[in-house]
Amino acid sequence: MSSMQDEFNQLILRLKAQRDELRVKTHLFKLDVQEDWTALEKKWEQLNQKLQRAEKEGSAASREIGAAMKLLGEEIKAGYERVSKQLKK
């Protein structure tokens, strides 16, 4: 497995753990945080679709969409951090 795949897999595992933890707390969300959560869920689905596409199409496609996947993953991470801060208020 390439280091890029390892990096994506680790990112996915970290995001999944953080996502699962936040999903448990959704009943505490304020309306504005719920809107952020909904947008993040859409990005999560996009990331998973890109990952599945990369896995199906092989390493050439993985390289082509790797930067987009990384950027999307970082957007999701930043969004999860924003939601976590809102929950601590």
Residue 27 has pLDDT above 70, yes or no: no
Asked, for residue 73, whether it belongs to a domain, the answer is: yes
Its pTM stands at: 0.66
- Quote the CA–CA distance of 51 and 35 in Å, as a whole number: 25
pLDDT tens for residues 46-67?
Answer: 988 888 887 777 666 667 777 8
Is the separation of the CB atoms in 79 and 40 below 8 Å? yes
Asked, for residue 76, whether it belongs to a domain, the answer is: yes
DSSP string, 11-35: HHHHHHHHHHHHHHTGGG--HHHHH
What is the domain extent for residue 39? 30-89
Residue 7 has pLDDT above 90, yes or no: no
- Quote the CA–CA distance of 24 and 29 in Å, as a whole number: 10
Residue 17 has pLDDT above 70, yes or no: yes
Asked, for residue 56, whether it belongs to a domain, the answer is: yes
Q: How confident is the model at residue 1 (pLDDT cuts 50, 70, 90)?
A: low
Asked, for residue 6, whether it belongs to a domain, the answer is: no
Asked, for residue 5, whether it belongs to a domain, the answer is: no
Asked, for residue 21, whether it belongs to a domain, the answer is: no
Q: What is the pLDDT of residue 75?
A: 93
Asked, for residue 34, whether it belongs to a domain, the answer is: yes
Q: What is the pLDDT of residue 14?
A: 94
Q: Domain tally for the chain?
A: 1
Amino acid at 2: S
**Average pLDDT for the chain:** 83
